[in-house]
Amino acid sequence: MSRKQALLKRHRRNKRVALLVALVILVLLGMLVTWWLPLVLAVLGWVGHEAWFSDHLFYSPGDDYLYQFPAQNEVPGAALQGDLLTVDQVPQLNGFETLVLAVSIKSSWLGRFLDPTVELSSGQMRDSQVFERGVKGLRYLNLTGFGAALNAGTLRIRGRRCSLHGRPRLWSFAHADARRQRVMVIAPHADDAELAAFGLYSQADESWIVTLTAGEIEAEHYQQMGMQRAEAARIKGRLRAWDSITVPRWAGVPESRCVQLGYFCLQLPAMQAAPDQPIASREADLCDTRIFRQFNSLSLPSDADGAPTWNNLIADLRALLQQARPQVLVMPHATIDPHPDHICSQAAVLEALQGLEWQPSVILGYANHLHDNDRWPMGDVYSGVALPPVFDVSQPLVPYSIELNTDQQRDKAMALGMMHDLQPPPPLKRRIRRWLQKLLAGRRWPAEGENEFFRKAVRRHELFWRREL
């Protein structure tokens, strides 16, 4: 069982216990007071749960995030004078660096019901970064894009429904600009590349998009159109294969540099466990990847037999790496992103690189999912992306963030809107929950799309984790 599954299992167990206790209390109230009181309290309790307690948060808001950044990257003498951020020694900035500020945040009483926000400003520049309701601990702000304001001494940081405490710590990470290099984005499923890195790959000098699976499972939306389970899975996989080839054209990436490998969703772990064994689709009644490769303009080594094996996946990746010769590899971060296909995608790429003549200079890891917090990045569309919860100081992490302007964020939103998997409306329960949270918790959702990823991904920043090879 993965850590994510274990956390979710514990959460559900605790929730069942809490519901049982609440039921006992309501029954006693009905017996001792009046029959209608438990009904009223039950409705109010459900409304309160949906508005304020339905986030999947598998840690206490009072826990400190734990990062261990390299000492040489810390900027000495960071301090808050009122709401003005100052440093003893102005850092040398080259115009492309990631700036991170650690600060202790304490929620106000109102911040237990409305999202606590840290607002950044300098002249006409504005940003906001949101944290957990009831937050009381060390958090990490992403100041990328505010370097000039920091050097000019005009960067102001204010808490809204929260206050900032203690002495802050500031780190500056200088990077080569990946947008001026040859980039290959590894996407476990169609839309992963856009969610994590549309801003990066749309600006790169040369970009390749390699999608590993067709993402054919969980095709209930198509079954509602009258299709049988296998037929629905096949058409969903074909649509997502089409998306993986065509949507990057919106960013200027030619079809000749977009490749769909067509392996089956959530089957990569089974393939890795038995490298020579073909692993069929869970739902599409298929054991041949070629049906999902029909839109490729490039041929792949495993086109000869279409067998969904780990060895074929490695051979396909090796061929593409040799042909594209990427300087920057962008792929899921296996210890932050818990999705099994994302973990295996990273493992497959690293295995494919072994002994290969061409080696990229840097890997940028991304996380479209988290173990601990299903709402991250918290906050609204077009706002900044603070660093995610991390509680393992032994994990070496070097952040790499780029800034997207408003037009680039809108282009990203339109790219996500083209993805078929992000188009179906959310279920009724989720729509009711959103209405209650809008009414009672002050939350809002973007007009760009109803899927939660429109809120999560259309942001001022794209955040990666850098690893040298």
Q: What's the CA gap between 139 and 363, in Å, rounded?
A: 25
Q: Is pLDDT at 7 greater than 70 in this prediction?
A: no
Q: What's the CA gap between 22 and 28, in Å, rounded?
A: 10
Choose among 460, 461, 211: nearest CA to 331: 211
What does the pLDDT read at residue 8?
A: 63
What does the pLDDT read at residue 88?
A: 87
Q: What is the pTM of this model?
A: 0.92
Burial class of 74 by CB neighbour count within 10 A (0 to 12, 13 to 18, 19+): middle
What does the pLDDT read at residue 192?
A: 98
Q: Is pLDDT at 30 greater than 70 in this prediction?
A: no
In the predicted model, what is the mean pLDDT of residues 263-291? 98
Q: What is the DSSP string of 17-68?
A: HHHHHHHHHHHHHHHHT-THHHHHHHHHHHHHIIIII-S-B-S-TTSPP---
Q: What is the pLDDT of residues 279-317, one digit of tens each?
A: 999 999 999 999 999 999 999 999 999 999 999 999 999
What does the pLDDT read at residue 29?
A: 64
Helix (H) or strand (E) holding 376: none
Q: What is the pLDDT of residues 35-87, one digit of tens each?
A: 677 777 888 888 988 999 888 888 999 999 999 999 999 999 999 999 999 99
What does the pLDDT read at residue 61?
A: 94
Q: What's the CA gap between 111 and 115, in Å, rounded?
A: 6
In the predicted model, what is the mean pLDDT of residues 231-259? 98
How confident is residue 4, by pLDDT bands cut at 50, 70 and 90? Answer: low
Q: Is pLDDT at 2 greater than 60 in this prediction?
A: no
User: Can you give the length of the chain in residues?
Assistant: 469
What does the pLDDT read at residue 5?
A: 64
What does the pLDDT read at residue 268?
A: 98
Q: What is the pLDDT of residues 332-385, one digit of tens each?
A: 998 999 999 999 999 999 999 999 999 999 999 999 999 889 999 999 999 999
Q: Which residue has the higher pLDDT, 15 or 408?
A: 408
What does the pLDDT read at residue 334?
A: 87
